[in-house]
Each structure stands twice: as structure tokens, then as C-alpha cells.
Structure 1
Amino acid sequence: MRFYILEIKMKQITTFILVLIASFSFSQEMDKEQLLALKKANDYVYEANNLIGKEDFVSAEMAYRKAISKQPENIAGIYNLGNSYYSEGNFEEALYRLQEAAKNAASKAEKHKAFHNIGNALMQNKRCKEAVEAFKNALRNDPTDDETRYNLGIAKACEEQQKQDQKDENKDDQNKEDKENQDQNKDQQDKEENQDKKDQEGDNKDDQKDEEKGEEDKKEGDDKKDEEGKPKDEKEKKNEGDKNEDKQQPRPQSGQLSPQQIKSLLEAMNNQEQKVQEKMNAEKQKGIKIKTDKDW
């Protein structure tokens, strides 16, 4: 990319000063001190331009700064100082000075060169979209400059590439975010599955404990049955049998003997009769008593 430099030669300085004197000879706005300041500023610009030709950028920068200090609106000093920063690779400072030069430029030619070099500085900083606008402004002031038009094409291509890169980056970021979300969901799912597994294991352990406790209770019950002699269920069966027997036997009505009472009474009578019979038999066996004494 071509970089424009505003050159000021001694002959041009002399002619410039004479023109200014003629222009302001009838005016009180420019006094002798201002004319001397203008001449001194252009002398510094001339000196700085020669130093740039010798690639002595440090000394050239100092000379340009002196020119600006003598005449703050010296377009050549500001513009060429920006160019010197550009040559040193200090693109941010170069951009600042060139924008200042474009603002103070009085002619279209000066504006064209300032905007052209602004576009170059922006391209160096990868600010392609802004560079496109700078080159467009340069062409507005000089539509015939093919060099500016060429740089504009490069800046547009750079802008399109950056847009595509931004889309790809956004896509990559979206894919990365989706993957992170998937990983988080998978981690959450794994945690839930592990928790369910732990809960299931806990339930199995509880069931096993309940089963073991049931077996222990059963064993204690068996031991208790051995100690009592009869199991509880057998006692319950016996009680139920007794109840059934009581149910089968008719209950005596009020004022009547029950069959059991009648049976007991008959047995008692038979026993009494048997005792009487046995007593009588015993007396028979003894015989009748014989008297040994005579009666008188």
C-alpha cells in the first residue's frame, strides 16, 4: 500500500510565504510574529522530511513536533508526523495524527491523502470495516486515484473474511456451549442414576435386615415353644376343642337335672345298694347265733 508524504521544499516555502504576505498585507490578523512562526514551522517540516529520507525517525519526529509547537495547525507537520509513526510501526499514534490532519486539511488533495493513509493505518490494526470507510472518504476527495480504489478492494475482502470468521467463531462457541450443556446433562443423569442405585441398594439392605430379623423372631418363637412344652397353636386348638365339646353337650334347663347329674345320682344309688347287699351277705355267712345256756 502506498503511503503519501507531504513534501515541502525551500522554493515552495519562499513562494508560500510571499503569497501569504500578499494575501494579508492589508490585514491586521497576521502580524510579523505569526509570519516568523509560520516560516520556522515550515523549516522544521523541511528538516524532518530530509531526516525521514535518511531513516532517522527519532530526529524526524522531534523536528515535526517542533514545527507543530510553532504552528499547531501546521497540516504538513501533523500529517508527516503521523507518517513517521506509521513507518516506526506505531499505528495507534499514527492514526491519531492522521485523523488530526484530515480534520485540519484545507483542500481536497490534503483530505484525500490523509484519509488514504488513515485507511492504511486501520488495515495494519485489522480494523477492516473502518478502513473501508476511510478509503471511501479518500475517493470522495479524489475519485481518480486507482491506488486508493485498489486498497478499498483489499479492505472489503478483509471485512468479508472477518465476518465469516466471526460466524465460524460464533458457531464454534455455540457448538462448545451445546457440548457443555450435553456434558452437564450427562453428569446430572449419571448422578441421578448413581443415587437411584444407592437408594436401591439401601432398600435391598433394609429388606435383608427385615428378613434376618424375621428369621430371628421365628427362631426365638421355636425356642419358646420348646420351653413351654406345647406350642401356642396346640394350646389354642385344645381350648377350641373344649369349647366345641361344651357346645355339643346340652345345657340343663332351669329346675331339671342334667343327664350328667342323673348319671351321677344313679351311680351313687347303685353304690349304696351294693354296699347294703354286701353287708347282708356278710351277716348270712356268720350264721345264726346258738345259745349255750338253758332257759329256766
Structure 2
Amino acid sequence: MKRLILTIALLSPACLLFAQQEKSDINQGNKLYEQQKYKEAEEAYRKSVAKKTETVEGNFNLGDALYKQKQYDKAQEQFNKLGASSNKAVAAQAYHNLGNSLLESKKLEESIEAYKKALINNPADDQTRYNLAYAQEKLKQQKQQNKNNKNKDNKNNKDDKNKQDQNKQNQDKKDQDKKDQDKKNSDQNKNDQNKDQDKKDQQNGQQPNKISKEDAQRMLDALNNQEKDTQDKLKNKKLKGVKVHITKDW
């Protein structure tokens, strides 16, 4: 079983076989490229392209030099143009390097398409096949990560909503408790005020709707005495009778 590995090394300009005779600028660019002087190599390749715009090797190697300088967008322009070549070998290598440039730019889906085009032109290229499998695996991981992040966001949103609801419930309970306590305090204040007023009334000798046991007894005794006097008066009146003038009739 083959292990999934990433091979992003660009195909070396020295290994490219083109029918066109190498020019001095291209040769100079290749030497600089091998020395990893990519900026100087780029300038040499641009000179060759300026002299002959349709030079395949000059344009291809220019794309390589741009790639090495991490100028991936410019490198993609070069390889994309070369991918339209009628020469399948050139097209396959151009799409391979285009796929690498897109991969470095995190454009996974586009890099996969580029690798597929490279394999159409050269089905036997294992290096491109490995890079294609790698890009597909990275895309799969990216989609799974995006899904996990979405689920996490949804969970966080749900947790936030539950927290907000709980906070609201807690606040409502606090508000209600405060209202209940305020009412209780108000009722207590009224009771205290009534007690204070009753106390004042007692101190002032005023006891509305209330009489002491002694006062009640005195009132009862007074009523009894009045009733007794009344009865005695009636009794005496009965015993004495009424004086009647008698006329002797005989």
C-alpha cells in the first residue's frame, strides 16, 4: 500500500525537453535557477520572453521562478496559458505546476481540477496522482472542519440562548421577589403605624371601640342601679295606690 505523500517540487527546467533551441537568456536563467537565485532567474527568463513571446521554455521557466518566490497568482497565469498547449507533455507539466500553485494558495478544488487535467494529458504521472490524492484529502478535511465549526457555532448559539433565557428567568424571579418583599414591607409598615396610633390613643386616654373590664363592670352596675330605682319607684306607687275622692252615697 502506498502512503499518501505530498510532492510539490516543481519539475526542474533542466529536465524539460523542448524542441526549441535554448537561447542565451534561458541558459542564463537556468543557471541562476539552479543556484536558487530565483529573482535573477526571473529577470533572465523575462528577457527571453521579451525577445520571443511564444517561447514555451522561457514562459514555463518564468512560471517556475515566480512560484519559487511565492508569487503564486503570477505563476498560475503562466502555467494556465501553457496548459492550452497542443503538446501533451507540455500541457501535463504545466497543469501539474498549476495544481501546485493553486494548492499553495489554498484553492483546493481548483488544484484538484488542475491535477486531473495533468493526468488526462499524462495518465502515467504518479507524482501528479499523489498530489491529486493529497489535495482531495485536504479538501475532505476542510469540509469536515467547516462542518464541525458550524455545529460548534450552532451549539454555542443554543447555549447562549439558554443562558439568556436562564438569566431572564433569574431576573424575573429577582424582580418578583423584590415586589413581594416591598409589599411585605409596606404591609408591615401599615401594621406598625396602626400599632403606633393605638399606642398613642391609649396614652391619650382614647380607646376607641375598647373599654376596660373595670369600666364595663361600673357601667353594668350603674345600669342595674338605675333599673332597681325604677322598679322601686313603681313598687312604691303601687303600694300607695291612688287617692280617690269618695262620695258617700247613703
TM-score (norm 1): 0.61
Is 1:127 equivalent to 2:107 in the alignment? yes
Residue 53 of structure 1 is matched in structure 2 by: 34
Is 1:3 equivalent to 2:3 in the alignment? no
Residue 13 of structure 1 is matched in structure 2 by: 21
Structure 1 letter corresponding to 2:59 = I
Q: 1:232 to 1:87 in 2, by over 3 A?
A: closer
Identity of aligned residues (%): 26
- The one of 100, 123, 137 equivalent to 2:117 is 137
Residue 255 of structure 1 is matched in structure 2 by: none
- The one of 63, 75, 79 equivalent to 1:98 is 79
Structure 1 letter corresponding to 2:178 = K
Answer whether contact 2:80 2:98 (CA < 8 A) is retained: yes
1:220-273 CA-partner distances (Å, limit 9, x unpaired): 44455x25xx85677xx99xxx9xxxxxxxxxxxxxxxxx9xx8xx99x97xx9
Answer whether contact 1:9 1:46 (CA < 8 A) is retained: no
* Aligned-CA RMSD value: 3.3
Unaligned runs of 5+ in 2: 1-6, 224-233, 246-250
Secondary structure of the residue aligned to 1:111 is helix
Shift in Å, 1:93? 3.3
Secondary structure of the residue aligned to 1:93 is helix
* Number of residues of Structure 1 aligned to a counterpart in Structure 2: 213
Residue 90 of structure 2 is matched in structure 1 by: 110
Q: 1:74 to 1:195 in 2, by over 3 A?
A: farther
Is 1:158 equivalent to 2:162 in the alignment? no
Is 1:65 equivalent to 2:46 in the alignment? yes
Structure 2 letter corresponding to 1:196 = Q
1:193-242 CA-partner distances (Å, limit 9, x unpaired): 22122112111111111111222333344455x25xx85677xx99xxx9
Greater fraction of residues in helix: 1
Q: 1:177 to 1:108 in 2, by over 3 A?
A: same
Answer whether contact 1:116 1:135 (CA < 8 A) is retained: yes
Determine the C-alpha separation between the residues in 1 that align with 2:96 and 2:208: 115
Shift in Å, 1:129? 2.2
Structure 1 letter corresponding to 2:21 = I
Determine the C-alpha separation between the residues in 2 that align with 1:177 and 1:231: 67
Secondary structure of the residue aligned to 1:13 is coil
TM-score (norm 2): 0.71
Which range moved further: 1-10 or 114-123?
1-10
Shift in Å, 1:70? 2.8
Is 1:212 equivalent to 2:192 in the alignment? yes
Residue 89 of structure 1 is matched in structure 2 by: 70
Secondary structure of the residue aligned to 2:83 is helix
Is 1:173 equivalent to 2:181 in the alignment? no
Determine the C-alpha separation between the residues in 2 that align with 1:200 and 1:144: 84
Q: 1:79 to 1:9 in 2, by over 3 A?
A: closer
Structure 2 letter corresponding to 1:61 = E
Q: 1:196 to 1:73 in 2, by over 3 A?
A: farther
Determine the C-alpha separation between the residues in 2 that align with 1:143 and 1:10: 20
Determine the C-alpha separation between the residues in 1 that align with 2:63 and 2:89: 17
Structure 2 letter corresponding to 1:3 = L
Determine the C-alpha separation between the residues in 1 that align with 2:147 and 2:123: 33
Residue 284 of structure 1 is matched in structure 2 by: none
Of structures 1 and 2, the one scoring higher in RCO (CA 8 A, sep 6+) is 2
Determine the C-alpha separation between the residues in 1 that align with 2:18 and 2:142: 46
Q: 1:9 to 1:219 in 2, by over 3 A?
A: closer
Unaligned runs of 5+ in 1: 15-41, 243-259, 274-296
Q: 1:168 to 1:222 in 2, by over 3 A?
A: same
Shift in Å, 1:156? 1.5
Q: 1:12 to 1:73 in 2, by over 3 A?
A: closer
Is 1:148 equivalent to 2:148 in the alignment? no
Shift in Å, 1:56? 1.8
